[in-house]
């Protein structure tokens, strides 16, 4: 994953628990890098180790950490880094999610070494849609839940996210029913 | 507009989606149609309006008429929507057949804030239009730039920290250097103190030993002789300890000097045997020596080799209760020629895990050894250093209960096939005693008493002087064949006295001068020779050594 992701993990931990806790997590994860470079590609293993160490140090369950990280990613990392560009992804949650496949296609242009997940949208109505999340990286479905929840907050629209198909339980890929009022 | 889309084989909706910022103008520059996003940004930019009323042509300059546009169809145009300030980039394509021109372009946005300012979303851009991707790329580059700024800041912090740490280290280093210099100075002072004290102790010891020898030659009853033996044994033991300390201080001060000269191996081994024969007899031990049968005369520092061997034999004697001590010398010619001495005892042996301690200063295998057998624990350490100074090596081989063998190897040359050197040695051995008077200069009354006794016994004609000044007066008045000159004297010392004698035109071939010193350090020999002396003898000396020197220099 790009350093941007690991920097976001660092930012979340420092914001919620302080610098000292981050240093403990970094040490526990055996990470030698003092700083992550946003546009540099790092092994996925580093991110997984950081999440595992965060669970051990903070005592929070891994799904809660991933979900919080998803929200943080949208509301802090992407918002600060890309600002209006992120909001320009759509005028509302539904439009943004429908544009999500294009949004990720653009990310490939920016980060050529990135292997981003694929998103697809189906069954779209005015107030709901099914979001298909197709990724080779295991265990990150809760991160998507956090992302979508964060998007709802970005557009000031409370959303409900229901994990209706789980790859971890044998499904072809993860599916989420996203609805808003 | 339908015409345009049709000619391009596109539906109207598809054309709108592909070119949301287009303008179609007639030859009067009236707007025929306008892209739906451009129309949304300014609702007054509508069909029927003149281009120049709604838009300003920024580049190229001077574009006014339909013909100007037609003539610049391959020029990049920068156009600004007057009401919104939205800047567009693109080109005007002349459609000659229909007297129309078509503008195809898109907004020029350089930051994501521009999107908000003009109320644009990603859907307002055609997918083929790379402007949003370029904008994203610019944002990514900004993030990279922020990383660089952050890293440079951290680098500055680290550099400053490093500089501060360096400053502390330099201070510490300076303190350490100072401490090291002070420690070296203290070591030097200690060595010099030890050397001085040893000298101070050796002088009265010399007196005691000589007087004990003199008394031993008198007729004494058995009890008195017994007392005298104990006195001598104790004095010799004390002298040995003092010698060890003096040697250690010389080694630490780097003042040990190795004198390479020819020597006879049988003579050397015999000397060591004679020294310890009585002690061995007393314990019921056999003391054996064996020398190489094929060669006898070698080069080396016989005094230092003797010192090493006496240390090893003395140790063997201390620890061996029955059996024998043996010194076996062999001449090795495989590789560089060297003398190998194996000193073997049949004592208790040395545990393997303690053998590495043997050659360290003040090391004795068991603290109880010190109390039981005495000694400074310096002998083997000194022996090792002396061996190394001579370019050799020393090692031990031992098993508990099976005795020990110390091996010493010293580089040498065999001189048995050098007749000239052998002759010189032989000549030195048989010199007659002098017929003329010799002068002994020493400020110390005991030293004068000792030498007086020896010279009287040997029937040598002599005269004594207490100071350098007195010696010079005697030399002016009497014919003198040889001078023994003490070095450390109050007032004019031995060096200065010798210089004055030489300045008074007493050439060395006419008047040999031999230095007497209780503490010859490295460099002293050169100092004595430079002052005009020919030889030196170390105090306390043996009667034989003194007489040999008298014979040697009387013959010249």
Cα-based angle A166, A172, A176 (whole degrees, multiple of 5): 40
Measured between CA atoms, the residue of chain B closest to residue A88 is B121
Residue B50 in this model has a pLDDT that exceeds 90 = yes
Cis peptide before A67 (omega within 30 of 0): no
Highest mean pLDDT among B24-33, B240-249, B365-374, B447-456: B24-33
Best B139, B140, B151 member to test A by mutation, with max A CBs in 10 Å, is B140
| B102, B190, B248, B454, B526 from B195: Cα distances, Å | 110, 8, 9, 27, 19
Average pLDDT over residues B421-430: 46
Q: Are B63 and B83 in contact (CB under 8 A)?
A: no
Measured between CA atoms, the residue of chain A closest to residue B121 is A88
* Rounded CA Rg of chain A: 16
Q: Work out the minimum CA distance from B17 to partner chain A, whole angstroms.
A: 15
pTM for the full model? 0.49
Please state the φ and ψ torsions of residue B40, each to the nearest 5 degrees: -70, -35
Identify the CA nearest to B333 among candidates B305, B364, B292: B292
pLDDT of residue B107: 94
Q: Work out the minimum CA distance from B46 to partner chain A, whole angstroms.
A: 25
Q: Is A142 exposed, middle or buried (0-12, 13-18, 19+ CB in 10 A)?
A: buried
Pairing of strands B437-441, B404-411: unpaired
Please identify among residues 31-90 of chain A the ones whose CB lies closer than 8 Å to any CB of chain B. 34-35, 37-39, 81-90
Per-residue tokens: B75 = 């020029």
Pairing of strands B100-107, B23-26: antiparallel
Calpha distance A97→A152 (Å, rounded): 10
Residue B431 in this model has a pLDDT that exceeds 50 = no
ipTM, two decimals, is 0.73
Q: Do A39 and B147 touch (CB under 8 A)?
A: yes
Q: Are B401 and B280 in contact (CB under 8 A)?
A: no
Cis peptide before B60 (omega within 30 of 0): yes
Compare CB distances from A106 to B112, B123, B133 and report the shortest one's residue: B133
H or E segment and range at residue B396 = strand B393-398
Other Cβ atoms less than 10 A from the Cβ of A125: the count is 9
Instruction: Count how many residues are written for chain B.
Output: 556
Calpha distance A13→A15 (Å, rounded): 6
Per-residue tokens: B186 = 């203290």
How many Å separate Cα B403 from the centre of its chain? 38
Identify the CA nearest to A70 among candidates A117, A105, A110, A30: A117
Backbone torsion region of residue B407, taken as left when φ is above 0, otherwise alpha when ψ lies between -120 and 50, otherwise beta: beta
Q: Do B135 and A84 touch (CB under 8 A)?
A: no
Q: Do A37 and B116 touch (CB under 8 A)?
A: no
Q: Are B478 and B463 in contact (CB under 8 A)?
A: yes
Q: Do B112 and A102 touch (CB under 8 A)?
A: no
Q: Is B453 exposed, middle or buried (0-12, 13-18, 19+ CB in 10 A)?
A: middle
Q: Work out the minimum CA distance from A59 to partner chain B, whole angstroms.
A: 31
Please state the φ and ψ torsions of residue A128, each to the nearest 5 degrees: -160, 165
Sheet with strand A128-134: strands edge to edge: A118-122, A128-134, A174-180, A159-165
Highest mean pLDDT among B64-78, B240-254, B412-426, B433-447: B64-78
Q: Are B149 and B156 in contact (CB under 8 A)?
A: no
Pairing of strands B480-486, B513-517: parallel
Q: Do B132 and A85 touch (CB under 8 A)?
A: yes
What count of CB pairs under 8 Å joins A to B?
72
Grade residue A48 by pLDDT with cuts at 50, 70 and 90: very high
Residue B489 in this model has a pLDDT that exceeds 70 = yes
Q: Do A38 and B144 touch (CB under 8 A)?
A: yes
Compare CB distances from A88 to B121, B143, B146 and report the shortest one's residue: B121
Per-residue tokens: B436 = 């003329």
Calpha distance B300→B291 (Å, rounded): 16
| Angle between helices A141-154 and A93-110 in degrees, nearest 10 | 120
pLDDT of residue B367: 46
Q: Do B112 and A88 touch (CB under 8 A)?
A: yes
Calpha distance B212→B192 (Å, rounded): 30
Q: Which residues, 6 or more positions from A37, have their beta carbon under 8 angstroms from its beta carbon?
A: A3, B144, B147, B151
Per-residue tokens: B87 = 């800047």
| pLDDT tens, residue by residue, B333-371 | 888 899 999 999 999 998 888 888 888 765 555 544 444
Q: Do B140 and A109 touch (CB under 8 A)?
A: no
| A114, A122, B495 from B196: Cα distances, Å | 82, 104, 18
Residue B428 in this model has a pLDDT that exceeds 50 = no
Lowest mean pLDDT among A104-108, B373-377, B381-385: B373-377
Q: Work out the minimum CA distance from A168 to partner chain B, whole angstroms.
A: 33
Instruction: Count how many residues are written for chain A.
Output: 181
Per-residue tokens: A120 = 């697809």
Residue A105, chain B, CB below 8 Å: the answer is no
Residue B132, chain A, CB below 8 Å: the answer is yes
Residue B427 in this model has a pLDDT that exceeds 50 = no
Q: Are B133 and A106 in contact (CB under 8 A)?
A: yes
CA neighbours within 13 Å on the CB side: how many for B74?
Answer: 0
Identify the CA nearest to A133 among candidates A117, A151, A116, A150: A117
Q: Do B135 and A85 touch (CB under 8 A)?
A: yes
Identify the CA nearest to B244 among candidates B341, B150, B382, B414: B382
Identify the CA nearest to B192 among candidates B254, B243, B103, B273: B254
3-state secondary structure of B33: strand
Q: Of all residues in chain B, what percent carry a pLDDT higher than 70?
A: 90
Residue B542 in this model has a pLDDT that exceeds 80 = no
Please give the mean pLDDT across all residues of chain B: 84
Residue B115, chain A, CB below 8 Å: the answer is yes
- Can you name the residues that pair with B410 across neighbouring β-strands? B339
- Can you name the residues that pair with B434 across neighbouring β-strands? none
Lowest mean pLDDT among A3-12, A66-75, B376-385: B376-385
Per-residue tokens: B521 = 């350090």
Residue B302 in this model has a pLDDT that exceeds 90 = no
- Can you name the residues that pair with B414 across neighbouring β-strands? B298
Q: Are A40 and A2 in contact (CB under 8 A)?
A: yes
**In chain B, which residues have their Cβ closer than 8 Å to the Cβ of A88?**
112, 115-116, 120-122, 132
Residue B139, chain A, CB below 8 Å: the answer is yes
Q: What is the DSSP letter of B298?
A: E
Q: Are B392 and B338 in contact (CB under 8 A)?
A: yes
Please list the helix, strand and coil fractions of chain B in percent, rounded to the nearest 5, in that order. 50, 20, 30
pLDDT of residue B277: 83
pLDDT of residue B429: 42
Per-residue tokens: B486 = 């003490």
Residue B144, chain A, CB below 8 Å: the answer is yes
Q: Is B391 exposed, middle or buried (0-12, 13-18, 19+ CB in 10 A)?
A: middle
| pLDDT tens, residue by residue, B274-289 | 778 878 888 899 999 9
């Amino acid at each position: 994953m790009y350093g941007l992701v690991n920097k976001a993990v660092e930012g979340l931990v420092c914001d919620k628990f302080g610098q000292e806790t981050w240093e403990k997590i970094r040490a526990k994860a055996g990470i030698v890098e003092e700083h992550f470079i946003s546009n540099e590609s790092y092994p996925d293993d580093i991110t997984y180790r950081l999440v595992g160490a965060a669970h051990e140090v903070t005592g929070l369950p891994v799904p809660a950490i991933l979900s919080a990280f998803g929200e943080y990613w949208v509301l802090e990392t992407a918002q600060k880094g890309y600002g209006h560009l992120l909001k320009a992804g759509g005028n509302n949650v539904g439009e943004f999610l429908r544009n999500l496949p294009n949004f990720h296609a653009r990310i490939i242009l920016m980060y050529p070494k990135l292997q981003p997940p694929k998103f697809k949208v189906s069954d779209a109505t005015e107030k709901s849609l099914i979001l298909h999340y197709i990724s080779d990286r295991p265990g990150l479905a809760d991160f998507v839940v956090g992302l979508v929840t964060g998007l709802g907050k970005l557009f000031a629209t409370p959303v409900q996210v229901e994990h209706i198909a789980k790859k971890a339980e044998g499904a072809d890929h993860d599916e989420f029913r996203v609805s808003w009022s | 507009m339908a015409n345009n889309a049709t000619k391009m084989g596109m539906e109207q909706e598809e054309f709108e989606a592909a070119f949301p910022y287009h303008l179609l103008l007639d030859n009067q520059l009236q707007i025929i149609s306008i892209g739906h996003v451009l129309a949304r940004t300014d609702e007054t930019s509508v069909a029927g309006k003149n281009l120049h009323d709604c838009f300003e042509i920024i580049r190229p300059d001077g574009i006014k008429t339909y013909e100007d546009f037609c003539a610049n169809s391959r020029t990049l145009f920068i156009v600004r929507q007057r009401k919104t300030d939205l800047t567009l980039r693109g080109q005007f394509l002349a459609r000659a057949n229909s007297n129309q021109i078509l503008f195809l372009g898109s907004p020029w946005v350089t930051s994501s804030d521009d999107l908000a300012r003009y109320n644009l979303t990603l859907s307002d851009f055609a997918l083929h239009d790379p402007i949003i991707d370029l904008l994203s790329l610019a944002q990514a580059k900004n993030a990279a730039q922020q990383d660089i700024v952050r890293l440079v800041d951290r680098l500055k912090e680290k550099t400053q920290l490093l500089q501060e740490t360096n400053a502390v280290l330099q201070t510490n280093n300076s303190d350490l250097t100072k401490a090291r210099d002070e420690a070296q100075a203290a070591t030097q002072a200690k060595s010099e103190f030890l050397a001085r004290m040893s000298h101070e102790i050796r002088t009265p010891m010399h007196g005691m030993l000589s007087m004990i020898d003199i008394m031993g030659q008198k007729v004494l009853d058995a009890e008195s002789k017994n007392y005298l033996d104990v006195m001598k044994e104790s004095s010799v033991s004390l002298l040995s300890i003092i010698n060890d300390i003096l040697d250690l201080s010389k080694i630490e001060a780097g003042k040990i000097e190795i004198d390479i000269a020819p020597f006879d191996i049988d003579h050397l081994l015999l000397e060591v045997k004679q020294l310890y024969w009585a002690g061995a007899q007393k314990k019921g031990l056999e003391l054996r020596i064996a020398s190489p049968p094929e060669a006898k005369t070698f080069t080396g520092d016989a005094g230092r080799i003797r010192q090493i061997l006496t240390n090893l034999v003395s140790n063997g004697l201390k620890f061996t209760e029955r059996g024998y001590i043996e010194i076996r010398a062999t001449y090795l010619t495989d590789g560089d020629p060297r003398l190998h001495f194996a000193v073997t005892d049949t004592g208790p042996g040395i545990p393997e895990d303690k053998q590495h301690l043997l050659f360290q200063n003040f090391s004795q295998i068991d603290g109880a050894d010190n109390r039981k057998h005495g000694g400074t624990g310096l002998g083997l350490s000194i022996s090792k250093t002396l061996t190394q100074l001579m370019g050799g090596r020393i090692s031990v081989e031992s098993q508990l209960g099976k005795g020990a063998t110390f091996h010493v190897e010293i580089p040498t040359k065999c001189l048995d096939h050098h007749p000239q050197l052998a002759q010189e040695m032989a000549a030195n051995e048989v010199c007659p005693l002098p017929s003329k008077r010799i002068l002994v200069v020493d400020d110390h009354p005991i030293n004068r008493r000792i030498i007086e006794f020896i010279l009287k016994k040997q029937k040598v004609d002599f005269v004594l002087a207490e100071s350098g000044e007195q010696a010079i007066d005697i030399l002016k008045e009497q014919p003198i064949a040889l001078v023994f000159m003490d070095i450390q004297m109050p007032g004019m010392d031995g060096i200065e006295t010798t210089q004055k004698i030489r300045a008074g035109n007493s050439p060395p071939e006419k008047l040999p001068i031999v230095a007497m010193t209780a503490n010859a350090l490295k460099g002293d020999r050169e100092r004595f020779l430079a002052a005009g002396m020919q030889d030196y003898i170390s105090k306390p000396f043996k009667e034989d050594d003194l007489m040999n020197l008298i014979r040697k220099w009387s013959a010249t």
